[in-house]
Structure 1
Amino acid sequence: MVKVANDPPLPEGDLPAAGRVGDPEPEVSGISLRLIAGLAATAHGVVRADAYRLDVSVDSTTQLRSALRDAGAGARLTHRLVLADAAALADQDGDPATLGEVVALLDTGGAAGLVVSGLSGTPLAALVAAAESTGLPLIDVPLDHIATFTTEVLSAILEHQTAILRRLEDADRALVQIVLAGGSLDDLCEQVVGFLDGAAMVTTTDGRVIARAGSQRELDHALSLECFDRTGRLLTEAEPMGPRPDGPTANRSAVRIVAGHLDHGVLMAFCSHRHLTVDDVRLLERAATVAALAITKDQAVSAVESKYRAEFLRDALAGRAGSPADAVAHASSLGWDIDRPMVVVVAETDEDDDRSTRDADEVRFLQQRFARAWTHAVAVRDARSPVMGFSREVVALIGVPAEAETEQVMRIVGEYVRVVRGDGGGGRRSFSAGVSRPITSPAGLPHAYDEALSAVTVGRQMHGDGALTHVDGLGIYRLLALIPDGADLRRFVHESLRELATDDSPEYAGLRQTLSILIDTNMNVAETARLLFFHYNTLRYRIGKLEKILGPFTTDADLRLTLALALKIHQMRGI
């Protein structure tokens, strides 16, 4: 069996070995085993390895005794090159079967390769056979060249790691300088591209791209990848973070932007012409730390600015912003243009935060993210349109063409909603939105705001979650929504429709549909039968059954009006 019990400590000449139990991942990568194979060839050594195994990275060397002890304890030997001389192998009894176990244990432990020296005859043949069987790279270096070879390997590893650390330090200085100089996230992405080549992007936690840099060719290539949905949202919920193995996704890498316990987004790099290495990811992680500083700084500044913006917009929506000329001037000082035709859009998440199981901090964070999504979507298309997030809603004043018809207004607003909604992934919450009629002066803001509020509230009752509703589409529902007590409406429905107000019998839903279409067709029996695909006599039978339950609605116009209102209320949700 393999001896691991009384091995001496690691010789002083070895670099600290990575991969022991409890050890962190190495800070930087090592040199390629292919380079080490070249050094071995220079030292008149023989390399026995498959070509693909020479692409592994080596960041440290270790003696055989230490490697066996670590492997026996369950530690990984990844990126470690194991050194063994004739004496070390003799301690394993020199038995071919035992030497085969040594090689198998090293290969199972993930060792980059085994270097032997001073070995010949049966022991060497046994090692060669075992290495060929397992695929573990085996390097045989003459005894009189092993010292030089080992020194060259250690020197190459140290030089490589020193160069990588210097690169990381240079990147740290350059990235931090961007933040100190007041640079933007786009500037930070430009610097990342300078170090990594390709393209770089910063996204929110749900995948909205808020900063990018790189050549147009690289950006177009990145956006064509399957990691983006049709709206241009990065599928953050499906993208792994950190280094990636070689494969079809190895030309991109993502790291989280974290400050304290809050996740602020994702920094992602793309290279169309090469795979990103572990060292590239380390640099990306440094950049993400600096991005977190930039984001938190911007949020602190934005919080102060938002306070004044929110106060003004709240006053304008309440009619307390002074004369129209004063309101226009104040809005202009805040970077907004409200002296033009516009509509008020109110967006609310469909989740009832008052009854949510989430804690208050999470609810506040989600509402802030919802507001930022709207701010970003509007800013890209019309940077001078006011957008503010309040405790329960987001209000946006969207510019529209003069004399715009309702259909044109809804196409414009619908595009903003589509961008904010994305495909619903990345933790995005469902929301509904209401749209007012166009106004041409800030004096009309209070009334337009009331219209948008009614539209979002009643629209959700009419169409369910995710509704986008214009106030002109509410009809009679708008008046019904003015009744504050839902109990009065429910009582009216039950008194008017009687048992048809319930679903106690499977036929009641069908009878309500028949009644609704009869009223909509102004009691045209033939047209109703055609719409319902009923025989004329079948519909006559149903009408008789309805009149027996509800009364003579075919001849009583007032009763028909009552039943029509009751049916409308019955269709409203949340009553």
Structure 2
Amino acid sequence: MSNEVQVGDLLDLPTLAGTTVVAGSSGLERRVYNVSVVAGTEITQWVKPGAALLSTGHPLRDSADSMCDVIRELDARSVACLAIRLGSYLDDFPPGLLETAEEVGLPVIRLTDSFAFDDIIIDVLRRINSALLADLDLAERVHAALSDIVMSGGTAGRVASEAARLLGAEVNLLDPIGGAIPPSEAQGTPSTGDWRALESSARDPRTGTEPFEYVVLRLGGPANLLGYLTARRTDRPFSAVEVRALERSAAVAALALSQQAAVRDVEAQFQSEILTRLLRGEFDEVDAAASRLHELGWRLSCPLVVAAIGVWPLDGRRLRDPRAVLWLRSTGLALLRQALQSPSGTGASGMVGHHLTAVLPAPDRPRLEDALQSVIDKFHRRTAEELSHGISAGLSADCSELQDAPRALRQALVAVRAGGRRSRPSRPCSFTELGALGLVLAAAGDDDTADLVAQVLAPLDRLPAREADGLLATLRALVAENMNFVDAARALHCHYNTVRHRVHRLEELLGPFSTDADLWVNISLALRLREFAAESG
């Protein structure tokens, strides 16, 4: 039962037994905060919001002609109800009063002659005071529970559990993109959903309107949004006092999440430093590396696979937005570790440079691919749009020895760049899918690959743009169709002879690649390197 008093609750009071609601029954859920007697002729001047007005009808005699306006004014002032006792001054309700009250939903109650107004006022005030005492008791219990959680260093999940217990509601904590946090302590089925719906529902405690059937509160401020607290109760709406209790719970939950994040950041930084040393070959001995990994609870058995996730700007900027890298460092790392949790403790993860990186035993490759995909999907649900950044993930080939981890990292980073060429959202890219292109990119530097492209394809760059575009398109089709002129013509939507003429022109510029296998390999590789450099930024 709600602690707030509604007009309908007054009808159960002993002094109002036998009374009749003659109009405005749709407004019986109006809140009652005080009670007063209307004695003067200025009916609407001194009334307060939430007032239950008692009247003998005396002040209504002189207002009979304007009764419709009086009722509308009372409704505008948020009066709870109007209770009238007929007989002394009025034998019946003035014309228009009941019709207007019914229209605006202002309850009009016909009182009996059984009790004096003083008795009714005492009864109503006793009911209001009882509700206020219940509110104070709730506030005290919430304060005591939250204080205990803060003093004992409790988790945000415990805050949600306590709020749910005290309010008899389903209370959940959701991350900024709608996922449950922490899922192990969620109440019932988390109300996950699109972040836009959460953000549009997040209410300002100073501007919300009652009744509160579903409450969404932000955890943290706009510049550091940690997530949302959602509360739902199917049997009754939340009162204003209960919403304030939820607001206090949200503040404490945000504090707990911030504290947990700070601890995780320190641990993650140390772990990332160890992982970086491993993947950059900075340990003098393999045994020393294995020992440090074991101290962190990472048990890695060869062969291994290395994975990396990177972000890049989509709007032509050369520099990454620091917020995107921060997302990888905090939210992305937490998501990846959650997805890779294993009772055996196998697997290591952390930040290596600007990339989120993980190392797992090779047999766990499918599990690692699923974990990478979950991080990519979460990023695309909100952060990609907000920051105008793309994201991609790459996996190395299997690494047979721990000392070969730096080579595996290079392979994973090459696969990250290759994954960025795909339409987003993408699946993780494996280094083994890239073939010769992957080997060249992993072994050669950017300057070396640029020199190769310039050396092989420079004659095309000196042509007019229109001619160069047509010849490059023909080269791409020949590569894709394995030098089959007929299939290339079909792919280009042109005549077979057109392809023949273009091939003749290409051989004049680049050499006899149709008969020289080595030259054709160089041209195919240079073409793919150029496309890779252009599409991956």
The one-letter code sitting in structure 2 at the alignment partner of 1:495 is A
Q: Secondary structure at the match of 1:335?
A: coil
Tell me the equivalent position of 2:392. 432
Tell me the equivalent position of 1:343. 305
Per-residue CA distance 1:144-198 (angstroms, 9 max, x = gap): 5222222222221221122122123212322332343343333333323322445
Q: How does 1:396-411 map to 2 (within 5 A)?
A: 396-401=358-363, 409=365, 411=366
Q: How does 1:156-167 map to 2 (within 5 A)?
A: 156-167=127-138
Tell me the equivalent position of 1:83. 53
* Post-superposition offset of 1:34: 0.8
Contact 1:519 1:560 in 2 (8 A): no
In the alignment, the residues of structure 1 paired with residue 46 and residue 345 of structure 2 have an alpha-carbon distance, to the nearest angstrom, of 60
* Post-superposition offset of 1:467: 6.3
In the alignment, the residues of structure 2 paired with residue 415 and residue 361 of structure 1 have an alpha-carbon distance, to the nearest angstrom, of 25
Tell me the equivalent position of 2:247. 285
In the alignment, the residues of structure 2 paired with residue 188 and residue 574 of structure 1 have an alpha-carbon distance, to the nearest angstrom, of 45
Q: How does 1:210-221 map to 2 (within 5 A)?
A: 210-212=181-183, 219=188
In the alignment, the residues of structure 1 paired with residue 356 and residue 319 of structure 2 have an alpha-carbon distance, to the nearest angstrom, of 22
Tell me the equivalent position of 2:338. 376
Change (3 A) 1:495 1:179: same
Tell me the equivalent position of 1:20. none
Match of 2:20 among 46, 58, 67: 46
Q: How does 1:179-190 map to 2 (within 5 A)?
A: 179-190=150-161
Contact 2:395 2:429 in 1 (8 A): yes
In the alignment, the residues of structure 1 paired with residue 279 and residue 219 of structure 2 have an alpha-carbon distance, to the nearest angstrom, of 36
Contact 2:219 2:225 in 1 (8 A): yes
Tell me the equivalent position of 1:113. 81
Change (3 A) 1:427 1:494: same
Contact 1:385 1:399 in 2 (8 A): yes
* Post-superposition offset of 1:493: 6.4
Change (3 A) 1:451 1:390: closer
Match of 1:253 among 192, 195, 215: 215
In the alignment, the residues of structure 2 paired with residue 234 and residue 336 of structure 1 have an alpha-carbon distance, to the nearest angstrom, of 38
Change (3 A) 1:53 1:308: same
In the alignment, the residues of structure 1 paired with residue 452 and residue 77 of structure 2 have an alpha-carbon distance, to the nearest angstrom, of 73
Tell me the equivalent position of 1:569. 529
Per-residue CA distance 1:202-222 (angstroms, 9 max, x = gap): 22222222224679xx73xx3
The one-letter code sitting in structure 2 at the alignment partner of 1:154 is L
* Post-superposition offset of 1:509: 4.7
The one-letter code sitting in structure 2 at the alignment partner of 1:318 is R
In the alignment, the residues of structure 1 paired with residue 531 and residue 95 of structure 2 have an alpha-carbon distance, to the nearest angstrom, of 85
In the alignment, the residues of structure 1 paired with residue 417 and residue 334 of structure 2 have an alpha-carbon distance, to the nearest angstrom, of 22
Question: % of aligned pairs identical?
Answer: 25
Match of 2:460 among 464, 480, 497: 497
Contact 1:200 1:269 in 2 (8 A): yes
Contact 1:207 1:426 in 2 (8 A): no
Change (3 A) 1:212 1:563: closer
Q: Secondary structure at the match of 2:416?
A: helix
Change (3 A) 1:466 1:171: same
- Comparing 488-497 and 177-186, the one that deviates more: 488-497
Tell me the equivalent position of 2:261. 299
Q: Secondary structure at the match of 1:55?
A: coil
Contact 1:375 1:388 in 2 (8 A): no
Tell me the equivalent position of 2:295. 333
Change (3 A) 1:352 1:242: same
In the alignment, the residues of structure 2 paired with residue 358 and residue 555 of structure 1 have an alpha-carbon distance, to the nearest angstrom, of 45
In the alignment, the residues of structure 1 paired with residue 424 and residue 4 of structure 2 have an alpha-carbon distance, to the nearest angstrom, of 57
Match of 1:274 among 235, 243, 252: 235
TM-score (norm 1): 0.75
Contact 1:497 1:566 in 2 (8 A): no
Tell me the equivalent position of 1:4. none
Tell me the equivalent position of 2:11. 37
Q: Secondary structure at the match of 1:373?
A: helix
The one-letter code sitting in structure 1 at the alignment partner of 2:306 is V
The one-letter code sitting in structure 2 at the alignment partner of 1:283 is A
Contact 1:312 1:321 in 2 (8 A): no
- Comparing 171-180 and 484-493, the one that deviates more: 484-493
TM-score (norm 2): 0.80
Contact 1:347 1:433 in 2 (8 A): yes
Matched, 1:175 2:143: no
Match of 1:422 among 374, 377, 393: 377
- Comparing 127-136 and 60-69, the one that deviates more: 60-69
The one-letter code sitting in structure 2 at the alignment partner of 1:420 is V
In the alignment, the residues of structure 2 paired with residue 530 and residue 470 of structure 1 have an alpha-carbon distance, to the nearest angstrom, of 31
Tell me the equivalent position of 1:23. none
Tell me the equivalent position of 2:176. 205
Change (3 A) 1:570 1:318: closer
In the alignment, the residues of structure 1 paired with residue 52 and residue 458 of structure 2 have an alpha-carbon distance, to the nearest angstrom, of 88
**Count of matched residue positions in the alignment of Structure 1 and Structure 2:** 518
Matched, 1:524 2:484: yes
Q: How does 1:427-466 map to 2 (within 5 A)?
A: 427-428=383-384, 430-461=390-421, 466=426
Matched, 1:388 2:356: no
* Structure 2, unpaired ranges of 5+: none
Tell me the equivalent position of 2:111. 141
The alignment yields a C-alpha RMSD, in angstroms, of: 4.2
* Post-superposition offset of 1:35: 0.5
Change (3 A) 1:121 1:422: farther
In the alignment, the residues of structure 2 paired with residue 480 and residue 391 of structure 1 have an alpha-carbon distance, to the nearest angstrom, of 19
The one-letter code sitting in structure 1 at the alignment partner of 2:132 is Q
The one-letter code sitting in structure 2 at the alignment partner of 1:419 is S
Change (3 A) 1:123 1:365: same
In the alignment, the residues of structure 1 paired with residue 23 and residue 185 of structure 2 have an alpha-carbon distance, to the nearest angstrom, of 39
Match of 1:154 among 115, 121, 125: 125
Change (3 A) 1:522 1:35: closer
Q: How does 1:69-80 map to 2 (within 5 A)?
A: 69=45, 80=50
Per-residue CA distance 1:29-87 (angstroms, 9 max, x = gap): 6212211133386355432345442133333456769994589xxxxx76x13425358
Per-residue CA distance 1:390-443 (angstroms, 9 max, x = gap): 562211223441xx7xxxx3x433311332233622435641112112235543
* Post-superposition offset of 1:535: 5.2
Matched, 1:94 2:62: yes
In the alignment, the residues of structure 2 paired with residue 353 and residue 524 of structure 1 have an alpha-carbon distance, to the nearest angstrom, of 38
In the alignment, the residues of structure 2 paired with residue 532 and residue 260 of structure 1 have an alpha-carbon distance, to the nearest angstrom, of 51
Match of 1:228 among 175, 179, 193: 193
Q: Secondary structure at the match of 1:350?
A: strand
- Comparing 360-369 and 560-569, the one that deviates more: 360-369
In the alignment, the residues of structure 2 paired with residue 484 and residue 438 of structure 1 have an alpha-carbon distance, to the nearest angstrom, of 24
Contact 1:40 1:139 in 2 (8 A): no
